[in-house]
Structure 1
Amino acid sequence: MEKKSYTVAIDLGSSNVVVLVGAKQENGSLSIEAVASKPVEGVNAGRIDNIEQAGNAIREAIAEVEEKLGVRITEAYAGISGEFVRCARHTDHVFTFDPQNGVNQGDVDALFDRMRNVQAPDDETIMERIPQHYLVDEAEEVRNPVGSFCKRLSSTFNFILCAKTPLQRLDMALRRLGVRSLGVFANALAAPEAVLTSDEKEEGVAVVDIGGGVTDVTVYYRGIPRYIATIPMGAKAINRDIRSQSIPEKHVESLKCKYGSAVAELAPDDKMIRVSGRTAREAKDILLRNLATVIEARATDIVEFVQQEIRESGYAERLAYGIVLTGGSAQLKDIDELFRRVTGMDVRIAAPEINLDEATRELVAGPAYVTAVGILLRGAGLGACNVIEDRSAAASRRPVNPMPPTQPFQPAQPRPYAPTRPVNTTQPKPVEQTQQAPQPEPEAEEMPETPETIATQATGSGKKERNWRNIFKKTLDKINEGFNAADDEEI
């Protein structure tokens, strides 16, 4: 059987971590071989705050897909999102080498070289450089300048920047699990790869990925990502508002998903749901209209922030295909209707479907897997990941609670058993003692002082053999003197 080339994607969010494994097919599509999703703690608004908690969640998800495929994962692609990811524009120019014959590829490469020399601030790193457009003689905007006649060729690039500390923490979390990162993508650029058609990218669309801790906004126009932004607010903000209504935290998520609505007007005003209160004896009746009112208030804040970012991009009037919603929180009932009412744009909720094999597409059906699939698609375009096909070792690849390494146990050598008998306090019958030649005592075997040996000596489990003849004699003397018999230890 032909060996498969796997690509591994890790999407570490603020609420869940998703690990996907895919393989390229002959027709160029990507089949989903395994998927695992685990709840995560220690990640706040996309930033790892507790590497142990985040690492445990990643470990569990990786171990699950390893068990399914019988492999050991050693390399992967990852995504990152947070307020620390931003875009910045920079414009530069070059003078063409031969204006009489037009712009050639060497002129374009020279412009790219100048952009590569642009340095990021000390606390940030450049993730990607995306050309926006070219200007010939600062007059005409063209997509491909090769062949155009001009003396001066200029271009504006979008630089995707990320703070160094979150990237270093993500890399550290993976390295501690024995996984090497082959690349880290901005989630805002990865998610559109799984849901947008070429027409949507060309005519203009905004992708809004609503996650647990952050909401990513990406604006496409003329096939190019023009703007990205991250709003530090997501589903957790809605959950906090619901919990403030004296709802136990363990019921908040299920209550929101099962009975909640993002538009209070569409929720029934005569239906109630009973949930247990803060104590075991309390119960609380909640009107579904009131629950929807709480959800709508915070969801409206998110929508208004998204609308503001779209306006900041400068392409608000050019988005022919409106807004595409993705992410786990896009499954909230009536969230698309709320976006329509606030923004006035066309809105659709998208699940992964672009460049995926139809036979395995159902494994990632749903908006919650969009970012992970986007990371997988971008990673597959760069190259496969190294995995070790070893089914016997997959189960023990990464234990959920690994124990610290210890020294192998060295059992101590057994001591000769020396039984002791209780002292007989009654007067024994006189017996004739036979004199025996003294036997030389065997030399005690020298034992190495291992921890086990030292512990045995300290507890006194090995005792000296008693001289019973002397004990009996002393006992008789004490009885004759009128004393009570003493116990063994006093003797």
Structure 2
Amino acid sequence: MERKNYTVAVDLGSSSVVVAVGEKTPEGAVDVACVVSKPVEGVNAGRIENIELVSRAIREAVSEAEEQLGIRITEAYAGISGDFVRCARHTDHVFVYDPQNGVNQKDVDALFDRMRNVQAPDDETIMERVPQNYLVDDSQEVRNPVGSFGKKLSSTFNFILCLKTPMQRLDMALKRLGIKMLGVVSDALAVPESVLLPDEKEEGVAVVDIGGGVTDVTVYYRNVVRYIASIPIGASAINRDIRTMSVPEKHVESLKQKYGSAVAELAPEDKLIRVNGRTAREAKDILLRNLATVVEARATDIAEFVQQEIKDSGFAGKLAYGIVLTGGSAKLKDLDELFRRVTGMDVRVAVPEAGITEESKEKVADPAYSTAVGILLKGAEQGGCAFVERPSTPASTAVPGAAPRTGFIPPQQQPGPKFTSVPPRYPQAAPAEEPAPAETRPEIPGQDEEADREDPVVVEPKRKRGFGSIVMSAIDKINKGFSAAEDEEI
């Protein structure tokens, strides 16, 4: 029997996929039941390029979550990020129905209806409409226009748009597992829900989520999302640069996290680290200062791109709380110091803390879980996800051709009796052939009498061969041989 308590979030990144499951409490907070992270391949800068590899990684993460909770997941909310997600502004207005009594909620609803009629380009879809401000008679800016006096109510909305193809591929990857995607949200809108404090949203802050292939920037001011941007560069670019130092690919990530630094001058000058190769002879010594120099160069590029996006938002001088860094790559040592030097703003590294229970904070105390928890919070506002408590696939959610996930193998229907043709127990006689019709020949006088005089056919008996005759014939051959030999000249 299905229930509507749990909410499931799927955060598909360029290097990992995170599945978070939680339940909304009566107090309004979300209790995170479990969170699972698995490496993923087949995603480049947020775009799914190999759906088979992506589905396999999601299957592993979902199966582990199902095993922990003893459920079968059939619905989920998903996040999406990449340079195919953008924001666009549109301004419109309505005339107040009763100016004498001021603006009422019906006037605001009429303005929202006009914004809902705005159409996206053919290859894009509108993910969300965010009102930026309200103007009464084009002069008085208010947060809540209800009760204000005027004849004209106008507003600027921020439209979050996304290309249809990446969303369709994400939906396809989940359908292959028998999971229905209830909704998709931009990662840039989800992350602030899990890491920002109320004062930060009010006074102004820029959230920078650094992932493997994409860096998302979200600008908050006066409790409103003012700007979002996705930069198609992330920690994978740093890893590629480290790889040029002849470091085996399997050691790059651990080397960066344990010994890397985003500020070269803060790294030790004379400390070496030995990186093992395939054999002891191939081991390589790397100076930590050189490693930090490589990391700093690419991290500086990311920081400069972020700074430019903040300037393009038009709120660079209004962000009292500076920058909040999060995402799996925010754990890089001294990255916050690098951003301070490049942008000149206050910087802090955040983990998911907002909107969840105290018990849940320990489970998700990692910047890499910020997006998944944010999607979980956004999904909980819309409603829970359906699931089943027994390991079977409901007929309503089963997808033709979807492979069963590891850990919960649905019971297969037992094949019924199959009737096949059985050969007869005893050999059957072949049907008798009908005699060929007799050939009709012209009657010849006296023919019957001659036929009567023909001798009957006699079968010759098998000739008997005695041993005596065989011996005598052999002796004759030998004597002839000797006689022939005597006649030859020597």
Task: Identify the TM-score tier after normalising by the shorter chain.
Answer: 0.7 to 0.9
8 Å Cα contact 1:127/1:160 also seen in 2: yes
Matched, 1:122 2:130: no
Q: Residue 290 of structure 1: SS of its match in structure 2?
A: helix
Determine the structure 1 residue equivalent to 2:363: 363
| Mapping for residues 439-478 of structure 1, pairs under 5 Å | 442-443=426-427
Matched, 1:184 2:184: yes
The CA distance in 1 between the partners of 2:428 and 2:242, in whole Å, is 75
Aligned pair partner of 1:399 in 388, 399, 406? 406
Change (3 A) 1:101 1:261: same
When the two structures are superposed, what TM-score results if normalisation uses the length of structure 2? Answer: 0.81
1:153-208 per-residue CA deviation (whole Å, 9 max, x = no partner) reads: 11000000000000000001111110001110000000000011111100000000
8 Å Cα contact 1:133/1:156 also seen in 2: yes
C-alpha displacement at 1:306, in angstroms?
0.2
8 Å Cα contact 2:72/2:392 also seen in 1: no
Matched, 1:109 2:105: no
Determine the structure 1 residue equivalent to 2:284: 284
Determine the structure 1 residue equivalent to 2:15: 15
C-alpha displacement at 1:280, in angstroms?
6.5
| Mapping for residues 365-384 of structure 1, pairs under 5 Å | 365-384=365-384
Change (3 A) 1:407 1:316: same
Matched, 1:82 2:82: yes
The CA distance in 1 between the partners of 2:185 and 2:271, in whole Å, is 45
Q: Residue 377 of structure 2: SS of its match in structure 1?
A: helix
Determine the structure 2 residue equivalent to 1:205: 205
8 Å Cα contact 1:125/1:162 also seen in 2: yes
Determine the structure 2 residue equivalent to 1:157: 157
Calculate the aligned-residue CA RMSD, in Å.
2.9
Aligned amino acid, residue 96 of structure 1: V
| Mapping for residues 233-272 of structure 1, pairs under 5 Å | 233-272=233-272
The CA distance in 2 between the partners of 1:374 and 1:267, in whole Å, is 34
Task: Point out the more displaced range, 100-109 or 325-334.
Answer: 100-109
Task: Point out the more displaced range, 287-296 or 405-414.
Answer: 405-414
Aligned amino acid, residue 42 of structure 1: G
Q: Residue 115 of structure 1: SS of its match in structure 2?
A: helix
8 Å Cα contact 1:72/1:397 also seen in 2: no
Change (3 A) 1:413 1:293: farther
1:363-399 per-residue CA deviation (whole Å, 9 max, x = no partner) reads: 11110000000000110111010010115889x9503
Instruction: List alignment gaps of at least 5 residues for structure 2.
Output: 395-402, 430-466, 472-490
Task: Point out the more displaced range, 301-310 or 99-108.
Answer: 99-108
Aligned amino acid, residue 74 of structure 1: T
C-alpha displacement at 1:17, in angstroms?
0.3
Aligned amino acid, residue 295 of structure 1: V
Aligned amino acid, residue 89 of structure 1: R
The CA distance in 2 between the partners of 1:413 and 1:107, in whole Å, is 77
The CA distance in 1 between the partners of 2:127 and 2:71, in whole Å, is 30
Determine the structure 1 residue equivalent to 2:483: none
C-alpha displacement at 1:277, in angstroms?
4.2
When the two structures are superposed, what TM-score results if normalisation uses the length of structure 1? Answer: 0.81
Q: Residue 305 of structure 1: SS of its match in structure 2?
A: helix
1:30-53 per-residue CA deviation (whole Å, 9 max, x = no partner) reads: 111112110000011011000000
Q: Residue 281 of structure 2: SS of its match in structure 1?
A: coil
Aligned amino acid, residue 72 of structure 1: R
Change (3 A) 1:4 1:401: closer
Aligned amino acid, residue 443 of structure 1: P
Determine the structure 1 residue equivalent to 2:28: 28
Change (3 A) 1:379 1:4: closer
Determine the structure 2 residue equivalent to 1:169: 169
8 Å Cα contact 1:218/1:229 also seen in 2: yes
8 Å Cα contact 2:206/2:323 also seen in 1: yes
The CA distance in 2 between the partners of 1:166 and 1:391, in whole Å, is 31
Change (3 A) 1:278 1:294: farther
The CA distance in 2 between the partners of 1:96 and 1:393, in whole Å, is 53
1:252-300 per-residue CA deviation (whole Å, 9 max, x = no partner) reads: 0000001000000100011001113477732211000000000000000
The CA distance in 2 between the partners of 1:401 and 1:165, in whole Å, is 31
8 Å Cα contact 2:274/2:285 also seen in 1: yes
Change (3 A) 1:400 1:264: farther
The CA distance in 1 between the partners of 2:236 and 2:383, in whole Å, is 35
8 Å Cα contact 1:196/1:354 also seen in 2: yes
8 Å Cα contact 2:210/2:326 also seen in 1: yes
The CA distance in 2 between the partners of 1:365 and 1:57, in whole Å, is 23
Instruction: List alignment gaps of at least 5 residues for structure 1.
Output: 417-440, 446-476, 482-491
Count how many residue pairs are aligned between Structure 1 and Structure 2: 420
1:82-121 per-residue CA deviation (whole Å, 9 max, x = no partner) reads: 0000000000111111222211111111111111110001
C-alpha displacement at 1:27, in angstroms?
2.4
The CA distance in 2 between the partners of 1:42 and 1:17, in whole Å, is 11
Aligned amino acid, residue 243 of structure 1: R
Matched, 1:303 2:303: yes
Identity in percent: 72
